């Protein structure tokens, strides 16, 4: 099964397999973050504070809409990786073609919901009136390309589940360059407005989706995609949904909490929205090692459980957790001390920089907690226990976070109350994950 475009993670050095798989993921996520950040930097510098706030205010809402389907893509990847690790060619083929068919349906649904629900949801979030018209334009154009976003994530899920993290990296580099060039031309040269930033993102995402599709159509026969075989297999769809729904539901619920957080930030005005939005882009870079190791661990655990390599799965989980925690904390320290300089790249307004710096100084030293929670979630999803991270993150990252802000902001009307919601809930979720990891039968005997 192993070949030049895939990696069988059930053999060879554990740390080399994980690192080899995670490094392209890191660079891929870096370039994805770059072209997301390019929108904000170019918009902020060429179109001003109001336009930057419009793009920033849409971020949590976009993740709310896209997050559920990305979770389903994660679930499909777990199923595919399990069949790949077990050398089950028939199951592998069914899972790949069912995933593709389901992705097409999800993309069409998201397009309709995103385009028509935009104004109502943005109003419910309390988006400032000065920002709202541009936010609606950005949001609607962005979601007109939902099919590309969804299919890209599903295709990448397929490739990564068979150990191919190299081709998604190449395609992301290409789409990132296209996105940045289009941003500079449409906004920097022609000054077309925030809608052009969304359009540039949509075009670049369609390019990356088509490149992934082309790669799958010419992949080795074991996991090659065939257009005529695309259909829904009922049993396989049930496996994909049962693994992916908890992750998707978790993403959406966390996004609801983040939308609530954004609504509270909106109350502090346009400068707060712009500053916190700029910081969120910087924070996205800090999350890169967390994201890539979490994804690598999901694939590693799933493939090894499919091959019944239980002890190997356990050792790999420990290695991934340690690496992620160390990397995340080093990045957090760097962002803490360089926040004003980094924020000035988005906007040179002193008040905008002050808000972003305040959030950075509140959250960055706690990145190691976020890393641990995400790694545990990735490990448990790979082990087929996606309900556990869903429940833990639902309780702490949604219920507790919203309750804390609702109560505390009433007594202490300061934006720092909102900022502290993240470190506090990261701490609680990490504590529960640690207890589960040490006490459950997962660590003591996967073979059960």
**pLDDT, tens digit, 9 for 90 and up, residues 260-292:** 887 888 888 888 888 888 888 788 777 877 888
Comparing CA positions, the residue from 10, 13, 48, 33 lying closest to residue 319 is 13
Average pLDDT over residues 55-67: 68
CA gap 408, 377 in Å, rounded: 29
CA gap 41, 356 in Å, rounded: 14
What was the pLDDT predicted at 443? 45
- Evaluate whether 325 touches 368 at the Cβ level (below 8 Å): yes
Output b/e per residue, 339-357; b: 16+ Cβ within 10 A.
beebbbebbebeebbebbb
CA angle (156 as vertex; 322, 370 as ends), nearest 5: 30
Percent of the chain exceeding pLDDT 90 equals 26
- Evaluate whether 21 touches 167 at the Cβ level (below 8 Å): no
Average pLDDT over residues 226-230: 91
Q: What digits encode the pLDDT tens for the residues 142-198?
A: 889 989 989 998 999 899 888 888 888 888 889 888 988 998 898 888 888 888 888
Task: Report CA 129 to chain centroid distance, whole Å.
Answer: 29
Tokens at residue 67, please? 């997050």
Give the model's confidence band at 447: pLDDT under 50 very low, under 70 low, under 90 confident, else very high: very low
- Evaluate whether 427 touches 396 at the Cβ level (below 8 Å): no
Place of tokens 């976009």: 62
What was the pLDDT predicted at 3? 44
CA gap 23, 65 in Å, rounded: 28
What was the pLDDT predicted at 30? 75
pLDDT at 1 over 50: no
Q: Specify the range with the lowest mean pLDDT, choosing from 98-112, 154-168, 207-221.
A: 154-168
What was the pLDDT predicted at 359? 92
Q: What digits encode the pLDDT tens for the residues 365-384?
A: 999 999 999 999 989 888 88
Tokens at residue 54, please? 């419009």
Tokens at residue 346, please? 């988005």
* CA distances for 299 relative to 38, 253, 279, 283, 364, angstroms: 30, 24, 30, 25, 28
What was the pLDDT predicted at 226? 92
Give the model's confidence band at 101: pLDDT under 50 very low, under 70 low, under 90 confident, else very high: very high
Give the model's confidence band at 445: pLDDT under 50 very low, under 70 low, under 90 confident, else very high: very low
- For 202, what's the count of Cα atoms within 13 Å in the CB-facing half-sphere? 18
What was the pLDDT predicted at 19? 84
Tokens at residue 113, please? 């919901």
The model carries a pTM of 0.74
Task: Kindly report the average pLDDT of the chain as a whole number.
Answer: 84
What was the pLDDT predicted at 152? 92
Residue bearing the bigger pLDDT, 246 or 255: 246
pLDDT at 446 over 80: no
CA gap 414, 47 in Å, rounded: 29
Give the model's confidence band at 7: pLDDT under 50 very low, under 70 low, under 90 confident, else very high: low
CA gap 295, 382 in Å, rounded: 9
Q: For 166-171, which contacts have Cβ atoms below 8 Å and span 24 or more sequence positions?
A: 166/5, 166/24, 167/5, 167/212, 167/215, 168/24, 168/25, 168/28, 168/212, 169/24, 169/25, 169/27, 169/28, 169/31, 170/211, 171/207, 171/208, 171/211, 171/212, 171/215
What was the pLDDT predicted at 148? 93
Average pLDDT over residues 225-250: 87
CA gap 284, 276 in Å, rounded: 12
Q: Specify the range with the lowest mean pLDDT, choosing from 20-24, 353-357, 363-367, 376-380.
A: 20-24
What was the pLDDT predicted at 61? 67
Q: What digits encode the pLDDT tens for the residues 381-437?
A: 888 888 888 899 889 988 999 999 989 988 888 899 999 999 999 999 999 999 888
Q: Specify the range with the lowest mean pLDDT, choosing from 22-26, 103-107, 230-234.
A: 22-26
What was the pLDDT predicted at 261? 83
- Evaluate whether 402 touches 257 at the Cβ level (below 8 Å): yes
Secondary structure (H, E, C), the chain: CCECCECCCCCCCHHHHHHHHHHHHHHHHHHHHHHHHHHHHHHHHHHCHHHHHHHHHCHHHHHHHHHHHHHHHHHHHHHHHHHHHCCCHHHHHHHHHHHHHHHHHHHHHHHHHHHHHHHHHHHHCCCCCCCHHHHHHHHHHHHHCHHHHHHHHHHHHHHHHCCCCHHHHHHHHHHHHHHHHHHHHHHHHCCCCHHHHHHHHHHHHHHHHHHHHHHHHCCCHHHCCCHHHCCCCHHHHHHHHHHHHHHHHHHHHHHHHHHHHHHHHHCCCHHHHHHHHHHHHHHHHHCHHHHHHHHHHHHHHHHHHHCCCHHHHHHHHHHHHHHHHHHHHHHHHHHHHHHHHHHCCCCCCHHHHHHHHHHHHHHHHHHHHHHHHHHHHHHHHHCCCCHHHHHHHHHHHHHHHHHHHHHHHHHCCCHHHHHCHHHHHHHHHHHHHHHHHHHCHHHHCCCC
CA gap 196, 291 in Å, rounded: 28
Q: Specify the range with the lowest mean pLDDT, choosing from 117-121, 192-196, 205-209.
A: 117-121
Give the model's confidence band at 29: pLDDT under 50 very low, under 70 low, under 90 confident, else very high: confident
- Evaluate whether 81 touches 306 at the Cβ level (below 8 Å): yes
CA gap 398, 256 in Å, rounded: 7
pLDDT at 5 over 60: no
pLDDT at 106 over 80: yes
* Phi–psi pair at 6, nearest 5 degrees: -140, 160
Q: What digits encode the pLDDT tens for the residues 76-89?
A: 888 898 888 888 88
- Evaluate whether 87 touches 1 at the Cβ level (below 8 Å): yes
What was the pLDDT predicted at 57? 63
């Amino acid at each position: 099964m192993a070949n030049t475009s895939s990696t069988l993670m059930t053999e060879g050095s554990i740390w080399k397999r994980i690192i080899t798989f995670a490094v392209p993921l890191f660079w891929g996520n870096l370039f994805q973050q770059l072209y997301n950040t390019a929108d904000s930097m170019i918009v902020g510098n060429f179109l001003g504070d109001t336009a930057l706030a419009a793009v920033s205010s849409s971020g949590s809402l976009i993740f709310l809409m896209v997050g559920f389907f990305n979770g389903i893509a994660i679930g499909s990847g777990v199923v595919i990786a399990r069949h790949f690790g077990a050398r089950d060619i028939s199951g592998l083929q069914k899972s790949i073609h069912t995933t593709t068919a389901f992705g097409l349906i999800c993309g069409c649904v998201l397009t309709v919901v995103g385009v028509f629900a935009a104004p109502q949801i943005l109003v419910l979030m309390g988006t400032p009136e000065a920002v709202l018209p541009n936010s609606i334009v950005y949001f609607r154009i962005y979601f007109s390309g939902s099919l590309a976003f969804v299919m890209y994530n599903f295709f990448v899920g397929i490739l990564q589940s068979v150990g191919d993290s190299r081709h998604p990296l190449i395609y992301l580099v290409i789409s990132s360059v296209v996105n940045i060039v289009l941003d500079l031309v449409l906004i920097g040269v022609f000054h077309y407005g925030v809608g052009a930033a969304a359009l540039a993102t949509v075009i670049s995402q369609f390019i990356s989706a088509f490149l992934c599709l082309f790669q799958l159509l010419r992949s080795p026969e074991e996991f090659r995609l065939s257009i005529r075989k695309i259909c829904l297999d009922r049993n396989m769809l049930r496996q994909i949904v049962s693994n992916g729904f908890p992750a998707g539901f978790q993403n959406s619920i966390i996004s609801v909490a983040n939308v609530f957080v954004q609504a509270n930030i909106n109350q502090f005005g346009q400068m707060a929205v712009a500053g916190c939005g700029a910081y969120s882009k910087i924070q996205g870079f800090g999350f890169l090692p967390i994201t890539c190791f979490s994804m690598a661990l999901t694939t590693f655990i799933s493939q090894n459980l499919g091959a019944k390599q239980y002890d190997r799965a356990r050792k790999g989980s420990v290695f991934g957790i340690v690496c992620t925690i160390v990397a995340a904390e080093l990045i957090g320290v760097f962002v803490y001390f360089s926040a004003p300089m980094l924020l000035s790249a988005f906007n040179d307004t002193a008040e905008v920089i002050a808000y972003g710096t305040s959030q950075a100084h509140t959250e960055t030293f706690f990145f190691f907690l976020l890393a641990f929670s995400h790694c545990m979630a990735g490990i448990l999803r790979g082990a087929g226990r996606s309900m556990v991270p869903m429940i833990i993150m639902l309780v702490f990252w949604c219920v507790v976070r919203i309750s804390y802000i609702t109560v505390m902001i009433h007594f202490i009307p300061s934006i720092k109350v909102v900022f502290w919601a993240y470190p506090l809930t990261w701490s609680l979720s990490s504590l529960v994950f640690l207890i589960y990891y040490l006490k459950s039968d997962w660590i003591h005997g996967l073979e059960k």
